[in-house]
C-alpha cells in the first residue's frame, strides 16, 4: 500500500458515493489514516466507520472550523501528510442576473474556504506533504450559467499557484484538479432527462461522463510523491479540448436554470 501510515484529511466527504467519499475510500484503501470533515456529521460517521477513520464536523467556509479540523487530525494521528478539499457550492447564475448574496455565498466556500484550508493544513502538515483542491472545468472553460461558481474556482486555481511557491520550500506540493461532468447523486438533475448524458459525452473525447473513482485516482497520484506542484490538472476525459454543452442543447434546459435542488446538498457535502 503506497500510502501506508500517512495521515490524510478529506473535507467535503459526506455525500454517499460522491467525489469526496470516493477520495476518502481510495486513500484508506492505500493505507492512509483518514480524517473526514463535512457539515453533515451523520453520513460522515458512516464513512468514517467504513474506512476506519475519524469524522469531524466542519463548515468549509468557517476559518475557525477548518483550523479545528486540522487540529483534530494532528491530535488523533499526528502531522498531516495529505489534505484534500472536495467541499463545494455550485451556485448558478449569470453576470446580469446574479445578486450579490449569491456571489458571496459561492466565494465563501469555493474560494475563501480553499484559502483557509491551504493555510491550516499547511501549518499542520509534515514537510513533503501534498494539498489537493477540487476545482472545476468551469474555471477555465465557461459553462453558462455557472458564472459565480466558475469565477470562484478560477480564484482557487490562482491560489494553488501562489501556495505552491509559498510552501514549496518545505517540499509541500499544492495542486488542483479540474473535473468535468461527474455522475453523482448531487448531479442527478443534470443527467436524469433521457439523452442528457449523451449530450455531455459527445463533447468528451473518451465518450463518457466521469465517475467519482476517476477523480479519486487523480487525487491518489497527486497525493503520492509525484514531481508536480502548482498544477491545475484537467480530469475531464479530454473535454478541455472540446466545449461544454449549451443549455439549449440539453433535453431539459431547466437543469441549467440556476435553481437546482442539489445546490443546498452540495454546500453541505
pLDDT digits (tens, 9 = 90+) for 81-125: 999 999 998 888 899 988 899 999 999 999 999 999 999 999 999
State the pTM of this model: 0.91
pLDDT digits (tens, 9 = 90+) for 44-95: 999 999 999 999 999 999 999 999 999 999 999 999 999 999 999 888 889 9
Rg (CA), the chain: 17
By CB atoms closer than 10 A (0-12, 13-18, 19+), residue 83 is buried
| Nine cell digits for residue 88 | 463545494
Q: In 138-176, which positions are buried (b, 16+ CB within 10 angstroms) versus exposed (e)?
A: bbebebbbbbbbbbbbbbbbebbbebbeebeeeebbbbb
Q: Which CATH superfamily is domain 7-268 in?
A: NAD(P)-binding Rossmann-like Domain (3.40.50.720)
What mean pLDDT comes out for the span 11-22?
A: 95
Amino acid at each position: 500500500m503506497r500510502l501506508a501510515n500517512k495521515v490524510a484529511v478529506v473535507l467535503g466527504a459526506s455525500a454517499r458515493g460522491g467525489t469526496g467519499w470516493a477520495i476518502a475510500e481510495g486513500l484508506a484503501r492505500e493505507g492512509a489514516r483518514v480524517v473526514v470533515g463535512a457539515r453533515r456529521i451523520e453520513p460522515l460517521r458512516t464513512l468514517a466507520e467504513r474506512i476506519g477513520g475519524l469524522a469531524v464536523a466542519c463548515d468549509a467556509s468557517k476559518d475557525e472550523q477548518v483550523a479545528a479540523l486540522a487540529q483534530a487530525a494532528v491530535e488523533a494521528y499526528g502531522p498531516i501528510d495529505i489534505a484534500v478539499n472536495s467541499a463545494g457550492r455550485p451556485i448558478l447564475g449569470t453576470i446580469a442576473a446574479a445578486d450579490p448574496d449569491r456571489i458571496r455565498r459561492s466565494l465563501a466556500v469555493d474560494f475563501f474556504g480553499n484559502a483557509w484550508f491551504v493555510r491550516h493544513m499547511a501549518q499542520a502538515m509534515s514537510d513533503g506533504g501534498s494539498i489537493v483542491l477540487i476545482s472545476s472545468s468551469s474555471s477555465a472553460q465557461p459553462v453558462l450559467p455557472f458564472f459565480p461558481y466558475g469565477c470562484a474556482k478560477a480564484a482557487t486555481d490562482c491560489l494553488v499557484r501562489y501556495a505552491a511557491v509559498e510552501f514549496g520550500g518545505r517540499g509541500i506540493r499544492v495542486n488542483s484538479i479540474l473535473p468535468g461532468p461527474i455522475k453523482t447523486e448531487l448531479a442527478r438533475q443534470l443527467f436524469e432527462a433521457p439523452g442528457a448524458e449523451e449530450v455531455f459525452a459527445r463533447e468528451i473525447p473518451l465518450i463518457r461522463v466521469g465517475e467519482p473513482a476517476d477523480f479519486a485516482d487523480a487525487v491518489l497520484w497527486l497525493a503520492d510523491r509525484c514531481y508536480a506542484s502548482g498544477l491545475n490538472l484537467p480530469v475531464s476525459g479530454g473535454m478541455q479540448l472540446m466545449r461544454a454543452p449549451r443549455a439549449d442543447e440539453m433535453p431539459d434546459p431547466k437543469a441549467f436554470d440556476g435553481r437546482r435542488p442539489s445546490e443546498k446538498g452540495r454546500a453541505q457535502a
